[in-house]
Structure 1
Amino acid sequence: MRFIRSALAATALAALSVGTTTALAAPASAAANTTPQKVCGSGYKTVNSAPVGSLGSVYLTYNSANGKNCVATIRNNPGTAVAMSAWIYVSDTDQGDEDYGQYTSYAGPTYVYGKGHCVDWGGNISNVYVQVSGSNCGTLKEHRVTFTR
């Protein structure tokens, strides 16, 4: 899927439409104490995060050895599978990755080469969506949006 930088509403609509088509996908296993490093890999360090209401958090991680960013959305309380997503996009290279589905514990990992680039990233748990734009790029100020649908 080609990534297009757009309003959060478009991202939410895509998450809902893809979520309904992947309802039969195998859910991620519910793992107690899941961390972004367990989802993304041991070389990844958390560089940013955003709460998804009271349901969990979306984490942006970075691996300095390979220049890649990874995003994972992790629930606070694993349980019955719900619609979840994790996504990342680099607008100036038009590269991105996404994971949408019904999961019990986490969505992701999603990876993109991000060394020296601003990244847009986010995710959702159930009906709460988070989008962070222009993130982790020096002096520019990022923009965060959270909404419930």
Structure 2
Amino acid sequence: MRTTARTIATAGTLAALVAGSTAVLGATASAAPNVTPQGVCGSAYKTVNSAPIGSLGTVYLTYNSSNGKNCVATIRTNPGTAKEMSTYIYVPDTDAWAGDSGSYTSYAGPAYVYGKGHCVSWGGSISNVYVSVENSNCAALKERRVTEVR
């Protein structure tokens, strides 16, 4: 029960932090044709997981085995007029998180955290569609995905 309450509290905190990061991180993403997770995160990052954000786009979880870092990027299916977008990643074991949000034409991110040997929670949003993935990429826990329209 305590873990569930902490997870809910953590998710709420992450949503607030991602929303509040616009002023600090808002200028990191820009329009680019044929955007890929490796184009956003770096060529050494390999896609290890992804989650659709309705039909609007996809949030990608990538990993760089040489430095132990994960990166997330939210990429639109059809770039165009700027829309509110976000991406975040959180490592519960270390309480490390990173995120990006703002009004973007093609992608939000990148957001990096050290995650070697740890479960990660991550997600993103485009317009009013939000997706979160908890307990991802770890053998001990079952992954939980939630998509919601607000």
Q: What TM-score does the superposition give when structure 1 sets the normalisation length?
A: 0.86
Aligned partners of 1:49 and 1:57 also within 8 Å: yes
Deviations 1:54-99 (A, max 9, x none): 0000000000000000000000001111110010000010101010
User: How big is the alpha-carbon RMSD for the aligned residues of Structure 1 and Structure 2?
Assistant: 2.3
Counterparts of 1:34-113 in structure 2, within 5 Å, are 34-113=35-114
Structure 1 residues 35 and 81: CA distance shift in structure 2, 3 A: same
1:18 to 17, 20, 24: 20
Segments of structure 2 that go 5 or more residues without pairing to the other structure are 1-5
Cα distance, 1:16 vs structure 2: 8.7
Counterpart CA distance in 1 for 2:84 and 2:17 is 8
Counterpart CA distance in 2 for 1:32 and 1:7 is 37
Cα distance, 1:9 vs structure 2: 7.4
Aligned partners of 1:27 and 1:104 also within 8 Å: no
Aligned partners of 2:28 and 2:109 also within 8 Å: no
Aligned partners of 2:73 and 2:111 also within 8 Å: yes
Structure 1 residues 62 and 9: CA distance shift in structure 2, 3 A: closer
Structure 1 residues 26 and 96: CA distance shift in structure 2, 3 A: closer
Match of 2:137 in 1: 136
Deviations 1:80-130 (A, max 9, x none): 111100100000101010101111100000000000000000000000000
Aligned partners of 1:58 and 1:123 also within 8 Å: yes
SS at match of 2:8: coil
Structure with greater helix percent? 2
Match of 1:6 in 2: 8
Counterpart CA distance in 2 for 1:82 and 1:27 is 15
Segments of structure 1 that go 5 or more residues without pairing to the other structure are none
Cα distance, 1:140 vs structure 2: 2.3
Deviations 1:35-71 (A, max 9, x none): 0000000100000000000000000000000000000
Q: Greater CA deviation, 96-105 or 25-34? A: 25-34
Structure 1 residues 121 and 17: CA distance shift in structure 2, 3 A: closer
SS at match of 1:14: helix
Q: What TM-score does the superposition give when structure 2 sets the normalisation length?
A: 0.85
Cα distance, 1:29 vs structure 2: 2.6
